[in-house]
């Protein structure tokens, strides 16, 4: 999937409302602190972080899609947000360290899940939080309209928790936080999202 192609029309009402709900759940974990730095990986147009930027000292937003970053930069300029920094790059090139790393609906696009989680662990400061929001395991209908999609059809929460623990994360837990439907080829498809949280000590 080329997210550059979708960037300009990405901020639909449904995605905006979903981002607000997800951000509220993330805030419950981090409990808002203007003394910590955060990174959103796979930030897209920044829908999640625009609900969190006033609760954190600094947010670095990383995405490999130039189209998404261009839209995000225009929004940052329009709303005069001072503590959001954007980077159009692969996370494997990132060298800064963060107190919090979060992402939403990104992991299922990445084939090597454990490799990226190891990178998250490397980039977190001690006592740091990792928060992942993604699809619960489904039968493949969610991406049926994208024939070039070659990622995961969601995740089993327990299996992903095991990966996090294997990498070195502690205090790992998860819960389902969001239920919705989408119409695909005339069919109403149910889906749900989970939030998994973990700490680096």
Using an 8 Å Cβ cutoff, are 189 and 141 in contact?
A: yes
Residue 120 to residue 198: CA distance in whole angstroms: 11
pLDDT digits (tens, 9 = 90+) for 107-137: 999 999 999 999 999 999 999 999 999 999 9
Using an 8 Å Cβ cutoff, are 64 and 88 in contact?
A: yes
DSSP designation for 105: S
pTM: 0.93
pLDDT digits (tens, 9 = 90+) for 130-175: 999 999 999 999 998 888 899 999 999 999 999 999 999 999 999 9
């Amino acid at each position: 999937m080329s997210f550059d192609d979708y960037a300009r029309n990405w901020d639909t009402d449904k995605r905006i409302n979903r981002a607000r709900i997800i951000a509220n759940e993330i805030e419950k974990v981090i409990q808002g602190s203007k003394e910590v730095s955060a990174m959103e990986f796979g930030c897209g147009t920044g829908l999640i972080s625009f609900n969190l930027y006033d609760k954190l000292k600094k947010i670095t937003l990383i995405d490999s899609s130039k189209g998404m970053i261009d839209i995000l930069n225009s929004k940052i300029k329009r709303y005069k947000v001072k503590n959001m920094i954007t980077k159009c790059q692969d996370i494997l090139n990132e060298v800064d360290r963060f107190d919090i790393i979060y992402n939403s609906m990104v992991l299922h696009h990445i084939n090597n899940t454990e490799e990226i989680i190891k990178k998250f662990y490397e980039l977190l400061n001690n006592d740091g939080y990792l928060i992942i929001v993604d699809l619960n395991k489904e039968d493949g209908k969610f991406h049926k309209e994208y024939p070039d999609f070659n990622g995961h059809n969601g995740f089993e929460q327990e299996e992903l928790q095991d990966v996090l623990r294997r990498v070195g994360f502690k205090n790992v837990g998860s819960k389902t936080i969001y239920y919705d439907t989408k119409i695909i080829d005339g069919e109403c498809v149910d889906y749900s999202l989970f939030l998994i949280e973990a700490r680096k000590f």
